[in-house]
Amino acid sequence: MRIATWNVNSIRPRLPRFWPWLEQRRPDIVCLQELKLTDAAFTGLLGDDLAARGYQYATHGLGQWNGVAILSRVGLDDVERGLPDEPGFPDPEARAIAATCGDLRVHSVYVPNGRTVDSDHYRYKLAWLRALRDQAAADGPASVVCGDLNIAPADADVFDPAAYAGHTHVTGPERAALADLMALGLRDVVRDRWPNERVFSYWDYRAGMFHRDLGMRIDLILASEAVAGRVDAAWIDREARKGKTPSDHAPVIVDLDEAPDGDIGPMVPPPSNPANPRGRRLPQGPASG
């Protein structure tokens, strides 16, 4: 099963990129962020074409900012829009949606940016992350938190840590909030798969940042242990950042083995292969470079 997450930076002007991407990558579950549409506008714009491709969908969109969705070809139940006791700015925004897709609880999130350190928006970001952790704490054993976390987990996840000193996305409190979320038992599956690689998911539109590969890794798939153990491939789809009218974010894609029937039995040891010590298939596309 393939799961993808993509901050599309407005779905309406992205449609000429979105439909070919969906046809090419054929994910079973898609988490989208920054739709910048109401739910009604999303349905009017994409509803029939998604149904024709076999996707159910649920959206949480309130207007021109934010907006998140989950698309699924493997079932879509128990949809939850927003977070329990969700903080707002000042009112709650459309930044979180969750649903059960087959055996998986799936979250699609667009974490607040934070703007500048110690601003009201920064405090809102931290409060929002606590509310997300509290929601995810109620998940069953098979869950994924996917989306634009707006936090670079480590210095290796920004092109120049010194350039980000004193800026949001890299501060201790933000990383601590991410660590608190991951302390529920969630794994950063792309970093697990590419422990020493230069792997970014966002590049500023300006100054040829993508061409020079000066970016950040802020779009994450965080998977519970039971799911992380099923990961075959985990990579950033840089092809989607190339060419005309891209989003400034690239999709993140994870492939899982089929869920075991019934109880999870003893793990079969992976084949011993020095070129691929994790015993995983190689990804369908490049992770970076």
Q: Kindly state whether residue 161 participates in binding DNA, applying the rule CB under 7 A.
A: no
Among 63, 88, 140, 141, binds DNA (CB under 7 A): 63
Identify which of residues 66 and 72 has a Cβ nearer to DNA in the complex.
Answer: 66
User: CA-CA distance, 189 to 59, in Å (whole number)?
Assistant: 25
Identify which of residues 245 and 273 has a Cβ nearer to DNA in the complex.
Answer: 245
Q: Kindly state whether residue 120 participates in binding DNA, applying the rule CB under 7 A.
A: no
Among 59, 150, 171, 224, binds DNA (CB under 7 A): 150
Strand 104-110 and strand 252-256: pairing?
Answer: unpaired
Tell me which residue of 97, 92, 83, 68 sits closest to 8, measured CA to CA: 68
Strand 2-7 and strand 29-33: pairing?
Answer: parallel
Q: Tell me the one-letter amino acid at 11.
A: I
Identify which of residues 94 and 227 has a Cβ nearer to DNA in the complex.
Answer: 94
Tokens found for residue 187: 């794994």
Q: Kindly state whether residue 121 participates in binding DNA, applying the rule CB under 7 A.
A: yes
What is each CA distance from 151 to 183, 217, 220, 241, in whole angstroms? 16, 8, 9, 20
Pattern 67-106, DNA, x by CB under 7 A? ----------------------------------------
* CB of 288 closer than 8 Å to CB of 198: yes
Q: Kindly state whether residue 220 participates in binding DNA, applying the rule CB under 7 A.
A: no
Among 109, 178, 181, 216, binds DNA (CB under 7 A): 216
Please report how close the Cβ of residue 80 comes to DNA at its closest, in angstroms: 22
